[in-house]
Structure 1
Amino acid sequence: MAMTKGLKIRHKLFAVFVLSNILLIVSMWQVFQWSFDRGFVSYATERDRDFLEQMANRTANLYIYYDDWYFLVQESRMESEWHKAKLENLRDLVPPPSTPNLDLIYPSQYYRQRFLLFDSQQKPIIGKTRFADAETHAVSVNKKIVGYVGLRSIRELVQDQTLRFVRQQGEAFLLISAFMLAIAALLTWPLAQWLSRPIISMQKATKKLAAGKFDTRISVKGADELASLSCDFNNLACTLEHTREARKRWVADTAHELRTPVAILRGEIEAMQDGIIKVSPESLSSLHQETLHIARLIDDLNQLSMHDMGNLSYEMEDITINDIIEQTVQSMTLPFNEAGLELGFEYSQKNPIVMNGDSDRLHQLFSNLMNNSLKYTNAPGKLTVKLLKKNKKAIVLFEDTAPGVSDEDKNRIFEQFFRVENSRNRATGGRGLGLAICASIVDGHQGTISAYHSPDGGLGIKVEFPLN
């Protein structure tokens, strides 16, 4: 872990590729050795067993003729001395010894270097290999074991041409593997750089994002996991950028909303101090109204901020949504009638709809939505509230008459401080927080709220609550 701590990802990828190739080569070499052991050596051992039986029969015939093993020991000693002289470069001076009996037992030089002879007590006569380590066959004369002939293990013959060929093939395999490993390493390095390029690009972009450059974007190429991660990064950057812009806009709008009533309040107080306006119940009432307006604005802002921080509390319980809507409609009927508007409630099903919610928050939600229609609907007009149950959802529709809203405004009416009118006249536009508060209450109930064009020519608002 300490060695790889300072490595970059392209170095780690390169190391992984190279180590994988080395592991593959070592595995292939092990398989090659295993295959050799199971194949060639097994075949040679089986062939030795067949030849040992022939050697035992020939040796038995010679033993019958000589009645001891001295003749073989003498020929074997002569042959060993000749080999020693051969190694001392005296081959031309010393002719090969005559070994007719050994030639009869094993005519091939392949077996001569491996020949072993043991007496009846399994003690070595020719050769120094232990009896237990050799492949042997009993030599029987008249059903009596007079000795054992054997062969040294094929693994001990380092001079054997067949084994030398196998080793040469193994060495060639290792050389070829090393050459291929070098080529793979040369190809792996640019491949590791190519694979790490999008990660490096994302690293640089992340540093810019951490520095507050939320307009940073990553070029998305391909459809793999890195491309998906790049898309997620771009979405995160876009969200942060929009959040920052919304925060700036929220601060500016809040300052504007507070500036106007505070300016009015300050002007009236200064006028009273200068004697321009007399202190009277009417002037005090005006000051009180502006103070209430500021208090309501602060309460609305506090409620929205608590919702954004997740601190807005809800007292959830099983409630009948029909009753809450009916109570809200009854409380709003008089203001609607005074404004020359009709307010109706439609629910066609027999059984009431029970859902889990906060009755006070829902009453506030429905009151805000009805007040919104009360402010903007032209008289004579009407607002129809409909309650439906569909697909395990309670659906509440608010449909009023003209005027309506444009498609662009329809998608923004739930934003904080947004007004359909371009002017800041609070007499027509309000504070621009009512529908934003409605959206926060609906979100607190895990529901959805959306706007559409009412079939009656005005604005339609659809609220959905889950019933499970």
Structure 2
Amino acid sequence: MKMKLMYKIMLSFMLIIVIGGVIIALTINISTSRSFTAMVRESDIAYAQELSITLSVYYLQTGTWDGVANIIRLPSQMGMMGNNASRRLKAQGQDTDTNFVDHLSARGQFKALPVMLISPSKSIIFTNMNDTGFKIPETTGVPVFGLNNEVIGVIFAGSMIGSELLPVQEAFLNSVQKAILLASIAAIFATFIIAYFLVKHITAPVRALKSASNSIAKGDFKTRVDINRHDELGDLATGFNLMAESLEAAEQWKQQIIADSAHELRTPVSLIQGHLEMMLEGVYPMDRKGIQSIYDETQLLTSLISELQVLSSTEAGQTSFEMETISLEELIISVTNNFKAKMTEKNIEFDIDIKPGSTNVLGDRQKLYQVLLNIISNSLKFTPEGGIIKISTWLDKTIDSIYLSIEDSGSGIAPEERSKIFDRFYRIDKHRNRDAGGSGLGLAISSKIISRHGGTIKAVDPLSGKGTRIVITLPL
């Protein structure tokens, strides 16, 4: 049977509360018993000290212990508790030697305080204990002094003789222990009620997270949890919301890339299908030229699919990067060498300016090569004949980064369009780009590669006032 987290926590709290309550109650009970016993003993010792003075005076006056039983009467036999009660009865005009005894005896609470007087030789002079099996206490009693501080006897009272409490004392101790027990039960019950609301408050965010998780599992990626707490549960809620945002963004990306891919793939597929239909209907001859046209479209289709795969794996973080120290100068020269024929054909000049200290950078050679290839290819594509492409690098020590700038003298990009050119399939002039063979994915791929390097890429105002300028920053 599946048990809810709230009930599990409640059972744990109950177990802890009950065990803790029992331990505390037992501890207080034992401590109270010991303290009360110690108090009774101190009271008995005080009574014995008071009685020793009376006995000392009696012995000095009579010179004998004969008749000592007559001065050890009930008020003294009850100790301090008896003295207080005796005074109250005397104030009411009652005989303390009879009425007080009768009063307590009727309630079954009276028992004379044990008193024993022994001689220095440890023979019993007086005791009010009827038990013939008693022994002389081994504890230290209160001495009774005669002339010249001579010890003429030793007095013992109450707990100095035995550990047994008087009924009235036992009744008081039992009432205290009962009160402790009731207080412990009440405290456990009150703590349980507080724990219930506390656990309910603690598990409320968990229940909210569970409900939100179920919604996410059903495909509702817009679900969020509203938990404003400054503890681990608050951190968990924040992490959950971030996860939900990531899932929502991933879902939107998936839907967008499917829609974009379907749109972009439709054009070459439609062209291939159209050519084949025309050939089947005899409109176009099935010659080398027609087949070459279809082949070119399949090449574009293959290139588009390949770039989609690269972009998808890069965005998903599934592409591995082999980081090493590489020379930007060598990389730039290697890329520009691929375009010498095109440069000669369009009479375009490369102006390369590598500042000192801005040569080496940590990166993936192949991926950065692809970035430069994409950007320079676009620059060549849209730079008119006789134009110039400037490539420069410089070091910024304040941010420990190297800047790489590629600027052409083409028609340029409107400021409001510059932030969009790194989006998938984005074209400023769709017809021009498609005719030129562009897929609209090159700059999107370049942006993801630079981002994975911890750098940035953006289009900025050209220094010459015309054309397009792309600036890349790469950390050292």
What CA distance in whole angstroms lies between the structure 2 residues aligned with 1:132 and 1:237? 82
Cross-structure match for 2:219: 212
- Structure 1 residues 43, 220: CA separation in 2 closer, same or farther (over 3 Å shift)? closer
1:8 aligns with 2:4: yes
1:419 aligns with 2:419: no
Cross-structure match for 1:290: 297
Question: Tell me, which stretches of 5 or more residues in structure 1 are unaligned?
Answer: 73-98
1:395 aligns with 2:403: yes
Pairing 1:295-444 to 2, within 5 Å after superposition: 295-308=302-315, 310-332=317-339, 335=342, 338-339=345-346, 342-349=349-356, 351=357, 353-376=359-382, 382-390=388-396, 391-400=399-408, 402-407=411-416, 409-421=417-429, 426-427=434-435, 430-444=438-452
How much does 1:244 deviate? Answer: 1.6
Cross-structure match for 1:261: 268
What CA distance in whole angstroms lies between the structure 2 residues aligned with 1:131 and 1:211? 88
1:466 aligns with 2:475: yes
How much does 1:430 deviate? Answer: 2.0
Cross-structure match for 1:115: 115
Segment of structure 1 superposing worse, 363-372 or 183-192: 183-192
What letter matches 1:447 in structure 2? G
Calculate the TM-score normalised by the size of structure 2: 0.71
What CA distance in whole angstroms lies between the structure 2 residues aligned with 1:285 and 1:130? 129
How much does 1:144 deviate? Answer: 9.6
**Residue 440 of structure 2 aligns to a residue in which SS?**
coil
Determine if contact 1:134/1:150 at 8 Å carries over to the other structure.
no
What CA distance in whole angstroms lies between the structure 1 residues aligned with 2:135 and 2:362? 91
- Structure 1 residues 115, 257: CA separation in 2 closer, same or farther (over 3 Å shift)? same
Determine if contact 1:339/1:379 at 8 Å carries over to the other structure.
yes
How much does 1:259 deviate? Answer: 2.9
How much does 1:139 deviate? Answer: 8.3
How much does 1:285 deviate? Answer: 3.5
Determine if contact 1:139/1:149 at 8 Å carries over to the other structure.
no
How much does 1:209 deviate? Answer: 0.7
Q: Percent identity?
A: 25
Determine if contact 1:58/1:104 at 8 Å carries over to the other structure.
no
Determine if contact 1:368/1:434 at 8 Å carries over to the other structure.
yes
How much does 1:12 deviate? Answer: 4.5
Pairing 1:137-152 to 2, within 5 Å after superposition: 149=156, 151-152=158-159
How much does 1:434 deviate? Answer: 0.6
What CA distance in whole angstroms lies between the structure 2 residues aligned with 1:133 and 1:419? 110
The alignment covers a number of residue pairs equal to: 430
1:249 aligns with 2:256: yes
Calculate the TM-score normalised by the size of structure 1: 0.72
- Structure 1 residues 249, 309: CA separation in 2 closer, same or farther (over 3 Å shift)? closer
**Residue 338 of structure 2 aligns to a residue in which SS?**
helix
How much does 1:242 deviate? Answer: 2.2
What CA distance in whole angstroms lies between the structure 2 residues aligned with 1:133 and 1:354? 97
1:159 aligns with 2:167: yes
Cross-structure match for 1:238: 245
Pairing 1:93-112 to 2, within 5 Å after superposition: 99-100=69-70, 102-103=72-73, 107-109=77-79, 112=112
**Residue 156 of structure 1 aligns to a residue in which SS?**
coil
- Structure 1 residues 339, 184: CA separation in 2 closer, same or farther (over 3 Å shift)? farther
Question: What is the RMSD computed on CA atoms of the aligned residues?
Answer: 4.5
Cross-structure match for 1:168: 175
**Which digits, 9 at most, give the CA deviation of each residue in 1:240-260, with x for residues without a partner?**
122122212212322333332
What letter matches 2:4 in structure 1? K
